[in-house]
Amino acid sequence: MAMIKYRSQVLSMLVILFFIQTFMPIHIHANPSLPIVKDNGPITIEVYPQRHQLVVYLDQIPYKTFPVAVGNPSTPTPVGEYIVTYKGKNWGPSFGSRWIGLNVPWGTYGIHGTNKPYSIGQHASHGCIRMRNRDVEKLYELIPVGTKVTIFGHVLGEANQEPRLISEGDVGADVQLVQNRLQNAGYFHGQCDGRFRSSTTIALKKFQRQNGLIPNGVVTLKVYEKFGLLE
């Protein structure tokens, strides 16, 4: 009898469990959701040579502003849009503690530290963007390779200064602009790479001769005027 009673109790419990699982909802309490971390979006850099400022943007919102030194009039900082292609440490005293390289097609340009912190806020470099070492170290940790860098300005310089005279051996966006004008006029058939080589000199001299200018291979104010770049 005891065994029959035990089996009856077990059967009753199984029936009760069946009904509970079948007809009663079971609520599963999940762990609380993790806090949502805001995606800051893409990091970009804008450089304003006339203000001697470098601004870091997070998702198009200004995040940090740093004072910088930029190129002097004879070796200007290249205007345009570039990409960070390399990051390195301790390139040498002149480059300070950090180097952030840009893909400027006609030379080696970058954002770097300096052993001349007193030059910050001036047009004092050979085209690179100088920062105080403590500032460039912060920037170095903040931005990845591939960051877009926009340098504002006009390739011929600011409105209150005359464009530089350029000739063979010079490099820059102004050289590239001259090459484009010579190419469009049918004088230059090489690559418009911003490097003033002998092929550019030959094309320029031909242009000068046919436009009544002294064929000296130097882009003077008169040449700029003939190109329609100056009034």
Active-site residue set: 112, 128
Q: Residues 6 or more apart from 194 whose CB is under 8 A from it?
A: 105, 106, 107, 171, 172, 173, 175, 176, 179
Exposed, middle or buried, 120 (CB in 10 Å: 0-12/13-18/19+)? middle
Contact between residue 121 and residue 67 where contact means Cβ atoms under 8 Å apart = yes
R_g over Cα of the chain: 33
Question: What is the C-alpha to C-alpha distance for residues 18 and 28, in angstroms, rounded to an integer?
Answer: 18
Cβ proximity of 79 and 163 under 8 Å: no
In angstroms, rounded to a whole number, what is the distance separating the alpha carbons of residues 45 and 54? 7
Dihedral over Cα of 131, 135, 137, 143: its sign = negative
Closest CA to 170 of 190, 154, 193: 193
Tell me how long the chain is: 231
Task: Give the SS3 label for residue 39.
Answer: coil
Helix (H, G, I), strand (E, B) or coil at 161: coil
Phi, psi of 222 (to 5 degrees): -65, -40
